[in-house]
Structure 1
Amino acid sequence: MAQLIVRNLDDDLVGRLKRRAADHGRSAEEEHRQILRAALRPGSLLDRLQEFPAVGEDADFEPVRDAQRELSW
């Protein structure tokens, strides 16, 4: 297997990676592998968008045009 060394990472980024790994019950190294696998898996943007769960109806996302708002200055 190949190895990958990533240099010059911000401490904050590494901290977030470690917290995310802990949340998933795995090492930071394994979390890094999972992130890379997910980011680089084959498939089109359409394929990935279709993986999102179906929530709401189309009408739920239509803008409200006639609503009047009270403005406070």
Structure 2
Amino acid sequence: MLSATAQGLAEHGWHDFTLERVADASGISRVTLYRRGITGDVVLDALVVGATQAWQAAIWPTMTAQGSGG
């Protein structure tokens, strides 16, 4: 579902982002998302958390390596 969220943002931007588009791209109904308690804020938050974790994982080796970093 996170890839569908990212795809929706890439195609439509923040202003035209809807949970219905995420549901369509995920192959499930919007009602199913609501029944599971998934809102637009939930999927956007999960996307931001995932991007943050990927960024941290990418820089962690450099931050913890020996030396000056210069």
Give the TM-score normalised by structure 2.
0.33
TM normalised by structure 1 equals 0.32
Which one scores higher on RCO, CA 8 angstroms, separation ≥ 6? 2
Q: Greater share of helix residues, 1 or 2?
A: 2
